[in-house]
Amino acid sequence: MPKIGVLDSGVGGLSVLREIHRILPQHSTIYYADQAHVPYGTRPHVEIDSFVDSITRFLIGQGADVIVLACHAASAASLRLLRERYPHVPFVGLEPAIKPAVLNTQSGVVGVLTTQATADGALYQRLLHRYGRMARVITRPAPELVTLVEAGTIAGSAAHSAVSQYLEPLLQAGADQIVLACTHFPFLADVIRDVAGSTALPVDPGAAVARQVRRVLPDRRDAGRPSQRYLTSADAGDFARIASGLMGAEVIAETVCYRAD
Ligand code: DGL
């Protein structure tokens, strides 16, 4: 079966990977967390692109037939360039889910929790231009939430107070849809629901991305049991511990550096 390569700056892309495992359990996956360089969201696009291009080449070398940029910041910096550089490889990227939020809002106000790199991207600006006339869209970079999820802190008072700090101004402005435009944030969905109550719904694109992966997979069948590999550019033990908690199943990881730097 075709192998699916998935990358992110850290553990956030696991929120997409769990959906891929759910709807494509017969496929092998290889997940790369670039934790030596997390966060991506505060970096310039050119720097993110150099990391993502190297990881892409590495994953293709490992036999990945499809590459999923399970990271909004990486998609903002690199998706278009990667499609030009590797025209034979299918890529699936993340697009902030502004369209469904704008279509579903009752209040006419949509809040977007994201990172600076995503907010600065041409794709995001196009979405604002296209849908910003249909609703008021408020953009809120929330870098501290990336740090929390990287540490595996997805519940408790620290998570609650950080989420409140970013969410309150959106709720006060009347937002009834909260777009999670960073793959780390779906892991905080319970806390977000807790803070927002029933007034605002978090919009998580993970399942839609997994369905898109199914659409672009090459039509090929091989024998053999599917495997799931987890790689990080930082400490494998730390990654395995946090990822096991987030995935609710034991994760075994390896440290693999995709470049010397
Ligand atoms: N999970 C990533 C995203 O979706 C990156 C977060 C970060 O490294 O800043 O944007």
pLDDT digits (tens, 9 = 90+) for 149-163: 999 999 999 999 999
- Shortest-distance atom of ligand 1 to CA 42: 9
Alpha-carbon gap, residue 203 to 97, rounded angstroms: 7
Please name the helix (run of DSSP H) or strand (run of DSSP E) that holds residue 66, with its range, or none: strand 66-69
In this prediction, residue 202 carries a pLDDT of 83
Catalytic residue check, 182: yes
Q: Tell me how far the alpha carbon of residue 144 lies from the centroid of ligand 1, in angstroms.
A: 11
- Shortest-distance atom of ligand 1 to CA 94: 4
pLDDT tier for residue 192 given thresholds of 50, 70 and 90:
very high
Looking at per-residue confidence, does 18 or 260 come out higher?
18
Residues of the chain with pLDDT > 90, as a percent, come to 91
| Whether the CB of 115 sits within 6 Å of ligand 1 | yes
Alpha-carbon gap, residue 27 to 3, rounded angstroms: 6
In this prediction, residue 223 carries a pLDDT of 67
Q: Does the structure show a pLDDT above 90 at 167?
A: yes
pLDDT tier for residue 261 given thresholds of 50, 70 and 90:
very low
DSSP assignments along 122-135, one per residue: HHHHHHHHHHTTTS
Kindly report, residue by residue over 87-101, the tens digit of the pLDDT.
Answer: 999 999 999 999 999
The domains located in the chain, with CATH, are 4-94+207-255 (3.40.50.1860), 98-204 (3.40.50.1860)
Please name the helix (run of DSSP H) or strand (run of DSSP E) that holds residue 149, with its range, or none: helix 143-150
Q: Which two tokens stand for residue 248?
A: 């609710």
Kindly report, residue by residue over 128-150, the tens digit of the pLDDT.
Answer: 999 999 999 999 999 999 999 99
In this prediction, residue 199 carries a pLDDT of 79
Sign of CA dihedral 188, 232, 86, 21: negative
Q: Does the structure show a pLDDT above 60 at 238?
A: yes
In this prediction, residue 73 carries a pLDDT of 98
Specify the amino acid at residue 98: I
Which pTM value belongs to this model?
A: 0.96
pLDDT tier for residue 2 given thresholds of 50, 70 and 90:
confident
| Whether the CB of 184 sits within 6 Å of ligand 1 | yes
**Bridge partners (DSSP) listed for residue 178:** 111, 202
Closest CA to 73 of 176, 178, 185: 185
Catalytic residue check, 71: yes
Residues of the chain with pLDDT > 70, as a percent, come to 98
| Whether the CB of 7 sits within 6 Å of ligand 1 | no
In this prediction, residue 64 carries a pLDDT of 96
Q: Which two tokens stand for residue 43?
A: 């970096």
Kindly report, residue by residue over 31-75, the tens digit of the pLDDT.
Answer: 999 999 999 999 999 999 999 999 999 999 999 999 999 999 999
In this prediction, residue 254 carries a pLDDT of 97
Choice among 70, 71, 127, 170 that is catalytic: 71
Kindly report, residue by residue over 203-226, the tens digit of the pLDDT.
Answer: 888 999 999 999 999 877 766 789
Kindly report, residue by residue over 7-31, the tens digit of the pLDDT.
Answer: 999 999 999 999 999 999 999 999 9
In this prediction, residue 100 carries a pLDDT of 93
Q: In what order do the strands lie in the sheet with 29-33?
A: 91-92, 66-69, 4-8, 29-33, 228-232, 253-255
In this prediction, residue 188 carries a pLDDT of 97
Choice among 77, 182, 203, 242 that is catalytic: 182
